[in-house]
Chain A
Amino acid sequence: MSYARRAWIILWKDLLVERRSKEQLNALLFFCLLLLFLFQFALGPDRERLAAALPGLLWLGFILAGLLGLARSFLAERENDCWEGLRLTPGDKSAIYLGKLAGNCVLMTAVEIILVVLFGVFYNVDLWTPAAPLALVLALGTVGLAAVGTLFAAMTTHVRARELLFPVLLLPVQVPVLLATVSATQALLLGQPLADVAHWLKLLAGADLVYVTIGLLTFEFVLEG
């Protein structure tokens, strides 16, 4: 089916470019490490304080890395008129959005895994026991962040003050995702069962559905110029 092929080739291209140039992933990973230090220094040596703030810090780190990583989603397209090339391709443009979204999800997941591992190691937190439900929360949060981030990245690619506008647009919209994921993560880290956070998961799933749908429906309008 042509739509799936086209979305897939976008994903393929993005992953290939990233693997070749390695710009983004390396820098982002290093950035995560730096964040770890930053949080520790900001909160001081008190172990308990850090442990209490952990869910928030995890997602804060994730969002900060996301802001950096997602904003650049369409940077490669700015070179060599590739953006116009995309505009000229026939067919449903939302396939491009889907491909880009998938690529961003892969990138964000890689960052998230690294962050979780680093947190576990440096802050000596047990993130292994609740790993499965935590992974679910992470996945849902990632999609929510990437869905809107990809759309806004496309929009801000050609706008002045892109680096400022992107976070200003993205962060307020992400508030529900942040609240949901932090609350759910906190509950899970305290050992509560998955059933206790079911309402958060439903909210996240619903939000993800809404965001991706809007992304699919409106991407062609964003691509146009």
Chain B
Amino acid sequence: MAAGQCLALLGPNGAGKTTLLRILATLLRPTAGALRINDVDALREPERVRPLLSMVAHGAHVYEDLTARENLRFWETLRGGDVSPARLAGALSQVELDGVADQRVRTFSAGMKRRLALARVLLGQARVLLLDEPFTGLDRRGRKWVNEFLLAFKARGGAAVVATHSFGDGLGMADRVGILGQGRLLVDRPTADLSAEELHRLYESLTDSVEEAP
């Protein structure tokens, strides 16, 4: 993948999207294959590429008993970054959480937690973003928000991989789309090549045949 690109990973539950994302995040080791990030062999030297990566999974990496601001301070300090109040406030306002910055995360909705995770991404200045089903549990406004975030991230030159099992979300942002079935990448095409219906039909046929296979 190139900088400024977004790859959408489609697939039914259990297809292996989360596993693939975790491998990309250097959290899991693949049994075969190679992974290069920024021209560094990520499998041999995961520590070198980790500063560039940021992952937002279901969990959003938030401590429920801390406030939003404290969460950011914690994670950014661990990354070795600058946690001046101005920077933290800046990130919080960019994700529109400045109003609730000093409330405990326990009171947040799923969407707000997701936004906090994205604030963490902003602070960390990651170059590669891995999102595991970022749209689940969000209302329309929330989903629109994530899409805009992705656009801005791409515009700054970051690369993103978004796993999702719902069709509408994320595809607008994607430059490429891949379909995972039973742990294999069945399709990998630029979105410009496919219309929405074509993609839909392709997806249906692939997942049906995958489900029928013994």
Contacts and interface: CB of A to CB of B under 8 A. Distances in A.
Report if A and B touch in the complex (beta carbons < 8 A). yes
By size class, the interface of chain B is: 20 to 34
Interface stretch (B45-53, B87-95, B141-149): B45-53
Given A88-B53, A90-B79, A79 B74 contact: no
Nearest to B51: A90
10 contacts: A2-B80, A13-B63, A17-B66, A80-B59, A80-B113, A81-B58, A82-B62, A82-B63, A84-B61, A86-B78
Interface in B26-73: 26-27, 47, 50-51, 53-55, 57-66, 70, 73
Interface of A: 2, 5-6, 9-10, 12-13, 16-17, 20-21, 76, 79-82, 84-91
A6 B80 contact: yes
A20 B71 CA distance: 14
B27 A13 contact: no
Contact of B59 (A6, A82, A89, A91): A82
Nearest to A3: B80
Contacts of B63: 13, 17, 76, 79-80, 82
A-side interface mostly: helix
Contacts of B54: 88
A89 B64 contact: no
A161 B8 CA distance: 39
A16 B70 contact: yes
Contacts of A2: 80
B47 A16 contact: no
A80 B60 contact: yes
Contacts of A6: 77-78, 80
A91 B80 contact: yes
Contacts of B80: 2, 5-6, 90-91
